[in-house]
Structure 1
């Protein structure tokens, strides 16, 4: 298995937490439909005005998934 990449979508404002939680549901749907190699998704609340949703993909899958879903940023995923 190669590197794992964490794709991240940032949400700001008073509705950030609920938006990130909702966005994760869509990411889970994408994983189920597309059958990605990994099934790691989540959301995290940084503070009252900043939250993010994420999914982890294998490096070999990253470019087509990035192009399809347009994340705001990405980083190497380390467990």
Structure 2
């Protein structure tokens, strides 16, 4: 998947560990073949395999929302990096 922009960052606590939540918009071309019965729903885990930004490759993101429409050219998926 191809993250195209990073929009926010927020520090928070997870147990006793402080983490930074970074919101990322992922643009996945509409014609991308996904395994049968795959749905991109909030809570889904997404691994970035390639990106125009080499720092993004290998990141694991967690889906927070997705936008679909009949005239879309790409899936717009909002996810967060919980590192």
Do the two structures share a fold, i.e. TM-score over 0.5?
A: no
Q: Name the TM-score, length of structure 2 as normaliser.
A: 0.30
Larger radius of gyration: 2
User: Greater strand percent: which structure?
Assistant: 2
- Greater RCO structure (CA 8 Å; 6+ sep): 1
